[in-house]
Structure 1
Amino acid sequence: MNSTTPMSRPQGHPKPGPETTDDSARGARRGSSRDIPAGLEYQQVVAATNPAWWRGVVAILLIVAGLFVFTIPVQIVGALLNTSLGLVDPSAPPAFTPITHLTNLVGVALLIPWSMLVQRWLFGVRPGSLHSVASHFRFDVFGRAMFFLLPVYTIYMGVMSLGEVKTTTWTPIAIVAAIVVTILFAPLQSAAEEYGFRGVVFRVAASWGAGPRMRLAIGIVVSAALFAMIHMAADPWLNFYYFTLGAGLAVITWRTGGIETAVVLHVRSIGRVRRCCQAVASLVERLC
């Protein structure tokens, strides 16, 4: 008798039952409207459709292209608004304004619906499955992550930013606008990268593996490598940071069965949150 102890099941995955047979796994196949079969891990949803390898390549190219292409028209609109409102001098080099900040975040946030569309179009998998193995955004998981992580990170970022008050020519209204934009839209930008890279890329890369463990390893490495590449950092250590961050978020996505916790961690990791804390400190200095 084999006495090997089975691996623990990642959080959020129902216990396997009759639904986990090969026939039921085809419920995730292209064109099917069925939910994710019970016990199927997050990164294996696309693999269950048995896609051709080239579909994964096309999906990754579309995700990376969307990340950059969607920002162009949004930034053009932002530039026109900056000029029409007199916030920038058209003859001077481009200036960073709260509107510029907003358009940068919104342009990336458009990757959320685009990722869902790519998954549906190429693999026939329900868009809602990108949230989690439950096929919906689990607000209870998201809430717990916020409850435990947000206070710690807020204190940490605040303390780290207190000694970094930067001189700015922005008015107090502009500083407040930038803070509000960061609070409302930075989470969407972070979520977009999670849906694109820990969602679509993680899944399609995993579909190239021959077994569950190989799929997991390939999915983590490929998604983390692409995540580091899109940041185009010149510093090797910064590239290493992005790779390890991407790999860590992929592992968290696998273990929790969804992107909710990864979104919370990603929001904390982006520099815009730290700049938001610096903006608060700058505002206090201007008003006092």
Structure 2
Amino acid sequence: MATRIGQLPGTPYHLQAKTAAYRWWKPLLALVLVSVVFALGQALGLVLQVVFDLPEGSLPWGMLPLVAGLAVTLVPGVMLIARVVDRRPGGTVSSVLGRIRLPWLGWCFLIAALMLVAVILLRGETLALSSVTPLKLVPVLVYLPFIVFQAAGEEYVFRGLLVQSFASWFRTPWIGALISTALFGLAHDYSDPMIIAEFVVFSLAMVWITLRTGGLEATVAYHSINNLLALSVELTSGVHTEQGAAQFTPREMIVTIGGHLAFAALITWLAARKDLARTASPAIEQE
């Protein structure tokens, strides 16, 4: 039998967790459970690494266990937390319509790919297309679905569940955005100040996009393409840089931040042109 969740028509994305079942302690419980899900994903990655005897970070397959572990745990884990803790459909983390809007997701992937290829070229990097062989393409194709779901999982955690949970306390999304940005940075363990600055802009731009489009489709697309292109550059060049040791030049930082802001501006303009739903209407139903 269908029951209605607590959101009223007109409820924005960041208040989707503020249902009739809301209690003050639920954001803290959600944070604890998200940490458990992350730990489970990392543990699964370590198990796969041992089972397949893959040196951590080695090319081409050493990064696959961790990516795969997070890919299969984060999105289902977040949706389960939303369902159990907030007693709302897990799809309300995806968008205000309670689901992924597939046509919009397709547009977002196209724009993200064009924007990020332009950023790579402006940074002076290359994909070394002349050296690409079928053998080098195999890892990229194997990684592809895992990278998409791993990046999606991070968006569901940091721009989705955490922003929504903390907005239940503060009503504004931006306190939760700052908390999730700090946690996002800790999860990636970068040390270069220029990369940290770029990371902060990236995270806040993704929150802005989520609020202005009423869902995570654009951020999932941008994050996925960003990770996939970064991996493709490594696979075609044969050079892997440990995440914490990565560094930016001032030019790379400026170009990368410019790309984030340009994508945010373009995608929010397109969302407005398409009159994309930014609030729940009518109240979403679940079985």
Taking structure 2 as the reference length, the TM-score comes to: 0.71
Q: Deviations over 1:41-83 (max 9, x none)?
A: 011011234622321112112213322332212332232223x
Residue 273 of structure 2: aligned partner: none
Where in structure 2 are the equivalents of 1:44-55 lying within 5 Å? 44-49=15-20, 51-55=22-26
Q: Residue 200 in 1 paired to residue 171 in 2?
A: no
Q: CA deviation at 1:280?
A: 3.5
Question: Can you give the 5+ residue segments of structure 1 that lack an aligned partner in the other structure?
Answer: 1-30, 83-87, 283-288
Provide the residue aligned with 1:220 in structure 2.
177
| Alignment-derived partner of residue 132 in structure 1 | 95
Counterpart Cα distance in 1 of 2:104 and 2:185: 26
Shift in CA distance, 218/155, structure 1 to aligned 2, threshold 3 Å: closer
Asked if structure 1 preserves the Cα contact closer than 8 Å seen for 2:60 and 2:235, the reply is no
2:126 counterpart of 1:162: yes
Question: Which of residues 230, 239, 242 is equivalent to 1:274?
Answer: 230
List runs of 5+ in structure 2 lacking aligned partners: 239-287
Q: Which residue of 2 aligns with 1:240?
A: 197
Note the C-alpha offset of 1:176: 2.9
Equivalent residue, structure 1, for 2:113: 150
Percent of aligned pairs with the same residue? 22
Q: Which residue of structure 1 aligns with residue 81 of structure 2?
A: 118
> What does 1:1-288 correspond to in 2, within 5 Å?
33-34=4-5, 36-49=7-20, 51-82=22-53, 96-109=58-71, 110-157=73-120, 160-162=124-126, 175-209=136-170, 212=171, 215-270=172-227, 272-280=228-236
Q: Which amino acid is 1:119 matched to?
A: A
> How far 1:208 sits from its partner (Å)?
1.0
Distance 1:132 1:95, change over 3 A: closer
Larger radius of gyration: 1
Deviations 1:231-274 (A, max 9, x none): 1222343333222211111111111000000111212433x522
Distance 1:161 1:264, change over 3 A: same
CA change 1:257–1:175 in 2 (3 A) is: same
Cα distance in structure 2, aligned partners of 1:54 and 1:60? 10
CA distance in 1, matches of 2:208, 2:135: 39
State TM-score, norm by structure 1. 0.71
For structure 1, which segment, 67-76 or 93-102, has the greater mean C-alpha deviation from structure 2 after superposition? Answer: 93-102
Q: Which has the higher contact order (CA 8 A, sep 6+)?
A: 2
Equivalent-residue separation in structure 2 for 1:81 and 1:266 (angstroms): 27
- The 8 Å contact of residues 35 and 135 in structure 1, kept in 2 or not, is answered as no
The alpha-carbon distance between structure 1 residues 57 and 152, as it changes in their structure 2 partners (threshold 3 A), is same
